[in-house]
Structure 1
Amino acid sequence: MMIISYADSALSVLPPLVAILLAILTRKVLLSLGLGIVIGALLLSDFSVIATSEYILHTVGQLVWKDGGLNNWNVYILGFLVVLGMITALITVSGSARAFADWAKQHIRSKRDAKLMTMFLGCVVFIDDYFNSLVVGSISRPITDRYHISRAKLAYILDSTAAPICVISPVSSWGAYIIALIGGILTAHGFTDSGYLSVFMQMIPMNFYAVFSLLLLLFVAAFGLDVGPMRQHELNALRGNLFDESKGQPPGAVSDLPEADTGKVMGLFLPIAILVFATIYFMVSSGADALAAKDLPFNVLGAFENTDVSSSLFFGSIIGLIATVILGIQQKVELPMLLSGMLVGARSMLPAIYILLFAWTIASVIGELETGKYMASLATDNIPFAMLPAVLFLLAGITAFSTGTSWGTFGIMLPIAADMAMGSDSTMMLPMLAAVLSGAVFGDHCSPISDTTILSSTGASCHHIDHVVTQLPYALIAALISFVGYIVLGFTGSLIAGLLCCSVMFAISIVVLHFVAKK
């Protein structure tokens, strides 16, 4: 099948641009993604209808079956979603979710406490962003529902403690991936004496977007700084409308299930704890096996760098499901209720699975169009060197927004940033790499086609586009703070000056948000 190249063409941006704009305007995610896929396939197939159909069928087929075998990453992630839906439903059926909500009412005494607790859990569960969004969402939803916190606010909390935490945590799937990328880049440029973990740690305070989006979330959660569409969702939640019911049930919703009267708080905590520890075990174990296959000594960071995230999530969830079923039986939940709960839970994840499949398909189309490379090529030699950290932040943001992947943006933009630094001032290498990491997370936060954004909506059981539009104002505020900080960092070469500027901007933003929210 002949594929037309668009690596140097602005047309490569057309499919994601159409999909994103249409999704925001129509709020019909599948229709918008589908149209973006068709436009991209037509471009790649030189507008041949037959070739376009063949390409789409081939691309969709590869989501499940690739290179003569199962596409393990996708299949395991989809399996993880289904099993987690079952676990969530079983926790509801057993009455454990209601028991936990009753317990929380005695210990979490305010709406603010419920939001801060969710944020705390999001910061603690840092091993993977998918895991963070879905598991923390399952734990927190009964509490946030009890205190009339909108599902959109819950999705914002989940999303803003998923990627921002993972991108600055060395012991996470993100941290290991980034360290591996940076290690290769530094070695290629002759920095063989640098400890890659220590380099990663040095970059943490330079990742302005991650740092200040977390700080912004803390103030929004603590002081109720609800602005824009989020304010309306929170007002609706106070009236009992946690999500927009006119759009139907959101992904992950299991509200129609019967609940047993014998539920225990441990019926929620124990399965989730087992799920967490089992997943960590499988991550370390698969990483250790990979190290052994390469004849390398075992270490935790190396294990996370080489781990199989998707299979670890799936097998960890299977262990969690078995534990949930056993606890349900011990709590005298009837077998028909357990089976019904598992069926409803699996079915509740179908909307998220459909969106994810469409998002993966358009990601493949965008990859063939080489949209990311085109976006990266916009960084030209005509830009003043002092502006490069800020420009790289913006370009990484636009690339991640357009492609829906922060990891793909890391892979494309980090080598370009390193080459630019080496061509001008090698002392700015780390700030420029950090600007790429920061911008990629920003773009990922804003993009409706990002899988992290999709799964945050699923974890919160929130309509996807509602999450996108309510989070956008906060993401833009944190991005503006970061952009100005990178300008100062670029001109002064001082991290302290950049952080100080960001802190001043942040304080001003909080005052303005407080005024707008109380108006």
Structure 2
Amino acid sequence: MDLASIGWLTLLPPLIAIILALITKEVISSLLLGILAGAFIYANGSIIGMLTTTFGVMGDRMGENINIVIFLSLLGAIVVIVTKGGGSRAYGEWAIKHIKTRKGASFAATALGCLIFIDDYFNCLTVGTVMKPVTDKYRISRAKLAYLLDATAAPICIIAPVSSWGASVATYIQEAVGEGNGMNIFIQIIPYNLYALLTIIMIVIVCSTRLNFGPMKRFEKAAIEEGNLAAADSVQAEAEMEISYRGHVLDLVIPIASLIIGTVIAMVYTGGGFTGERSILASFGKCDSSLSLVLGSFFALVVTFVMYLPRKILSFKEFMESISEGVKSMVPAFIILVLAWTIGGICSEAYLDTGNYVGYLVKEMDFPVFILPCIIFLVAAFLGFATGTSWGTMAILIPIGVSICKTDGTMSMLYPVLGAILAGAVYGDHISPISDTTILSSAGAGCNHLDHVSTQLVYASVVAFCCLLGYVLMGILETAFVPLAVSIVLLCVILYGIARYENRKEPIDFSNVE
């Protein structure tokens, strides 16, 4: 389709989906209407064409992402098995004995999220599974847990060189720049990624203080004062399970450790690290991350089978029934993910080409060079928000950003521009209701999806506001450290002001958790 023939209409599908989701609080129908609108535009108003396009894209995207579906199925099975086997209960009891405060529970969830930096999907679901019993004990709302999961997923992965994210971004940079080493450039632009760094600081402040604001305060107040965690339906199903009392802490730790080790080894294997084709570090950039997650989760399932059955933690029948229950528990996430992938496909280059249209608008703008990082940050944020994918946003904008710097003779702005692209992409993905990472954080925490979106939006946007000033300064100074320091100070000042206002307005009674 000729991009010029549709113009701004290319932005309509994601906007419809996002606006309807925020208004109706129902994400599935909103996504479906956005998809149908995009397919209708692409088919030039043909109803039959709209339907064939919709289901054609859906089938293609499911095929491309089938390994993610298999991974989630296997992970759902592992979650139910270790829950039924008593591993989660035993870990929860152990953690409760050693974690004495609500603050400690928050930091434990955050620390675990930071440690699992290999992949964001893996992070969201694994940390949620492990930490729910502990955070529930100290009345940390599921919305707050979902925020901690999401804020330690993409923001950590995007500054970790040894991760599926870091390796892939290094590849994008290498291809766009055409010289030097992509991984070295990626490492050097870490200080320019203000959103990721400020989000980590934000998490530390949130965990170490009683700061709650925006819609999050309502959920935290209900959890702390009334014990209402606002959990998703899956939590009730967990409560109704027959849980074994023969399980031990190791019955959770070893399956999770097997999952981590198996996934890392699989990433090296699928990236050619064992064949001598490339180095171990380079193999992360060339690995098939979704297949690696499948191999790692299958390995963990086998390890769990070998651990549980000989000790009669679960019978063979109970083990196989748990697999079925685990797959069923992931169906709501499957539905939303398939629809999110489909609307992403409708907006892709093969159909409405939303990303390149946005890139075209950026190139056509006439603005001072110093404001380029700030503009790029906003464009990346909008594109990540509208399409629900930070990877797609980075893949589209990194070549455009490099091209702008080369064309305008402003290669000194390359690092600020690349840092702004990564930061904006993660922020947009972070607040998007159609982002797969956002969806999986909701699933991992057992939180209603739109509750997570509405509560995280305010927290993430405070950080993004501070980043804007940082990128303006970065464009002027062409360095990272002064803008980073100013942004951090601004974030602390804003949060201090919010805390004083919220404490005067409607303080939360913490006596039930202390």
Q: TM-score range by the shorter chain?
A: over 0.9
- 1:446: how far off? 0.7
User: Does 1:485 pair with 2:455?
Assistant: no
- Choose which of 245, 260, 264 in structure 1 pairs with 2:244: 260
Instruction: Name the count of aligned residue pairs.
Output: 498
Query: Given the alignment, which residue of 181, 199, 214 partners 2:172?
Result: 181
- Check whether the contact 1:90–1:325 (CA below 8 A) recurs between aligned residues: no
Cα offset for 1:253? 5.8
Q: Aligned residue for 2:352?
A: 369
Q: CA deviation at 1:510?
A: 2.3
| Cα deviation, residue 250, structure 1 | 4.8
**8 Å Cα contact 1:119/1:157 also seen in 2:** yes
8 A Cα contact 1:376 1:399, kept in partner: no
Instruction: Give the equivalent residue in structure 1 for 2:390.
Output: 406
SS at 2:65's partner residue?
Answer: helix
Does 2:373 correspond to 1:382? Answer: no
Aligned to 1:68: none
Distance 2:341 2:313 in 1: 41
How far is 1:200 from its partner? 1.5
Deviation at 1:8, TM superposition (A): 6.1
Distance change >3 Å, CA 332–CA 429, structure 1 → 2: closer
TM-score by length of 1: 0.92
Residue 340 of structure 1 is matched in structure 2 by 321
Alignment partners' CA distance in 1, 2:377 and 2:204: 23
Partner deviation per Cα, 1:217-254 (whole Å, 9 max, x = no partner): 1111111311111111112222222125xxx6159963
Identify which range, 194-203 or 384-393, moves more after superposition.
Answer: 194-203
Q: Does 1:213 align with 2:189?
A: no
| Equivalence map 1:1-400=2 (5 Å) | 3=1, 5=3, 9-64=7-62, 71=63, 73-187=64-178, 192=179, 194-238=180-224, 239-243=226-230, 249-250=233-234, 254-288=238-272, 297-329=277-309, 330-367=311-348, 368-379=351-362, 380-400=364-384
**Residue correspondence of structure 1 range 407-422 to structure 2 within 5 A:** 407-422=391-406
How many angstroms apart in 1 are the aligned matches of 2:320 and 2:56?
36
For 1:9, what is the secondary structure of its paired residue? helix
> Using the alignment, how far apart are the partners of 1:6 and 1:25 within structure 2?
31
Partner SS for 1:19:
helix
Report Cα offsets for 1:171-197 as digits up to 9, x if no partner.
10110011111112221xxxx3x3333
Q: 1:377 to 1:253 in 2, by over 3 A?
A: farther
Gaps of 5+ in 1: 65-70
SS for the counterpart of 1:429 is helix
Q: Is the 8 A contact 1:90 1:328 kept in 2?
A: no
Q: Aligned partners of 1:445 and 1:48: how far apart in 2?
A: 34
Whether contact under 8 Å (1:385, 1:424) holds in the other structure is no
Change (3 A) 1:215 1:400: same
Q: Structure 1 residue aligned with 2:447, among 449, 453, 462? A: 462
Quote how far apart the aligned CAs of 1:198 are: 2.4
Structure 2 Cα separation of the partners of residues 373 and 298 of structure 1: 33
The aligned counterpart of 2:438 is: 453
Instruction: State whether residues 83 and 318 of structure 1, in contact with CA within 8 Å, keep that contact through their aligned partners in structure 2.
Output: yes
8 A Cα contact 1:9 1:374, kept in partner: yes
Q: Distance in 2 between matches of 1:23 and 1:4?
A: 29
User: For 2:410 and 2:279, how far apart are their aligned partners in 1?
Assistant: 34
- 1:389 touches 1:432 (CA, 8 Å); kept in 2? yes
Q: Give the AA of the match of 1:313.
A: L
Q: Which stretch shows the higher mean deviation, 506-515 or 96-105?
A: 506-515
Cα distance between partner residues in 2 of 1:84 and 1:32:
27
Superposition deviation, residue 326 in structure 1: 2.8
Matched AA of 1:256: E
Q: Which amino acid aligns with 1:198?
A: N
Aligned amino acid, residue 282 of structure 1: A
**Could you say what the CA RMSD is over the residues aligned between the two structures, in angstroms?**
1.8
TM-score (structure 2 length as normaliser): 0.93
2:159 partner letter: I
Deviation at 1:338, TM superposition (A): 2.7
Residues 3 and 357, structure 2, Cα contact 8 Å, conserved in 1: no
